[in-house]
Amino acid sequence: MDIFTNFAEFITKYYSYYINGTLTTLQISFFGVIFGSLVGVLLCLLRMSNNKIISSISTAYIEIVRGTPLILQVYVVYYGLPMVLPLPDSRLFLGTLAVLLNSAAYVAEIIRAGIQSIDVGQMEAARSLGMTKGMSMRYIIIPQAFKNILPALGNEFIVLVKESAIISVIAIPDLMYNADTLRGITYKPFMPLIIAGVIYFAITFTLSKVLGMLERRLAASDKGSES
């Protein structure tokens, strides 16, 4: 069959584009998820702070990130930030920074919603037993909130893997960028892109299954779901 010989020929010739692109995409996603979550937790803490100024700065940041296109944010971080901050002149770094700064806003909101879904009576009961606010959070609120947060957080990670494709606009050779390059080289509209699509799907599907397993394990160890 012609299509298979075409495919085999295509892959043997260009496979390195896909391998390098996938590695780049995985690298951006990995750092995006890790640092995006850390910054997200920080943003969430700031937003829930009793200090009005700190809390409104965090709220403003979250609203702006959620209310503007990611592609615009990527351009702002890539072209704009190095002019005002001493950032390393690295595409990959700036691209990852843009993605993680975006993800952090969503993570912050997911965590806040999870924490606020816990009945205020839980905090009151903990405080009435002499626990400090921090202890109450750590031993009573967070363990309960975590279970509510996990599915939404997993979803956000999957979105991040897919959305990281946007940084191809600043010519970072990720999976998307390389697939598009191959489309240009070969004049073939389908094959280069569909192969990239299959790889993206394989990554997100695996991630989704792993997170699903984690959720089920958590549900199994937690027999108490209501008070």
Partner 1 sequence: MIKVVNLSKKFGKLHVLKGINEEIKKGEVVVVIGPSGSGKSTFLRCLNLLEEPTSGEIIFDGVSITDKKNDINKQREKMGMVFQQFNLFPHLTVLENITIAPIKVKKMKKEEAEKIAMNLLKRIGLEDKANTYPNKLSGGQKQRIAIVRALAMSPEVMLFDEPTSALDPEMVGEVLEVMKDLAKDGMTMVVVTHEMGFAKEVGDRVLFMDGGNIVEQGTPKELFTNPQHPRTQDFLRKILV
Q: How far is the CB of 118 from partner 1 (least distance, A)?
A: 10
Residue 63 interacts with partner 1 (CB under 8 A): yes or no: no
Question: Cβ contacts of residue 75 below 8 Å, gap of 6+?
Answer: 169, 170
Residue 224 interacts with partner 1 (CB under 8 A): yes or no: yes
End-to-end CA distance of the chain: 63
Stretch that binds partner 1, among 25-33, 49-57, 157-165, 216-224 (CB under 8 A): 216-224
Half-sphere exposure at residue 127, Cβ-oriented, CA atoms within 13 angstroms: 8
Residue 122 interacts with partner 1 (CB under 8 A): yes or no: yes
Helices (DSSP H) in the chain: which residue ranges?
2-47, 52-67, 70-75, 81-84, 91-116, 120-128, 133-135, 142-163, 175-186, 191-221
* Among the listed residues 8, 129, 194, 213, the single contact to partner 1 using CB under 8 A: 129
x/- map, 140-169, partner 1, by CB under 8 A: x--xx--x----------------------
Based on CB atoms, which residue is closest to partner 1, 9 or 222? 222
Count residues binding partner 1 (CB under 8 A): 24
Residue 214 interacts with partner 1 (CB under 8 A): yes or no: no
Residue 116 interacts with partner 1 (CB under 8 A): yes or no: no
3-state secondary structure of 86: coil
Would you give the DSSP letter of residue 117?
Answer: T
* Among the listed residues 67, 130, 184, 189, the single contact to partner 1 using CB under 8 A: 130
Q: Buried (b) or exposed (e) across 181-210, using 16+ Cβ within 10 A?
A: bbbeeeeeeebbeebbeebbeebbeebeee
Write out the two tokens for 56. Answer: 């409104």
Stretch that binds partner 1, among 62-70, 136-144, 186-194, 204-212 (CB under 8 A): 136-144
Based on CB atoms, which residue is closest to partner 1, 69 or 143? 143
Contacts to partner 1 by CB under 8 A: 119, 121-122, 124-132, 135, 139-140, 143-144, 147, 222-227
